[in-house]
Amino acid sequence: MVFKNETYEKLKWIAQYLLPALGTLYFALSSIWELPYGEQIVGTITAVDAFLGVLLGISSKNYEGDGSMIVNTTDPEKDVYRLSLNCPVAELSEKDSVTFKVTKED
């Protein structure tokens, strides 16, 4: 499973900022104002956040990027670098950033 970049970035923001802040806010306010189910609500938010983190980790691990930089170091005189793209070259100019994996070729 791989999320599209826009989806990934939104979910990442939710997991890194929104859910931890929401959990902390409710935990603090439930103590001060005696709001109900403080532990249950904060526990639920934490569980959802952990699950979302796992999904984001799986997506990140499976992400192929925009291509690969293939490095051949078999010739002691010089290294040879080759770029293999996963999309047409014209699409790269439409992106804010590109990601390449480095692969060593023996």
Q: In this structure, how many other beta carbons lie within 10 angstroms of the beta carbon of residue 70?
A: 16
d(Cα 37, Cα 26) in Å, to the nearest integer? Answer: 10
Q: What token pair was written down for 19?
A: 């859910």
Whether the per-residue pLDDT at 98 is higher than 80: the answer is yes
- Structural domain spans, the chain: 5-62, 67-105
Strand blocks (E) in 26-76: 67-72
Q: What is the largest CA-CA distance in the chain?
A: 73
d(Cα 14, Cα 71) in Å, to the nearest integer? Answer: 37
pLDDT at 5: 86
Quick one: average pLDDT of 19-34? 97
User: By mean pLDDT, which of 20-24, 25-29, 63-67 is the weakest?
Assistant: 63-67
Quick one: average pLDDT of 61-78? 93
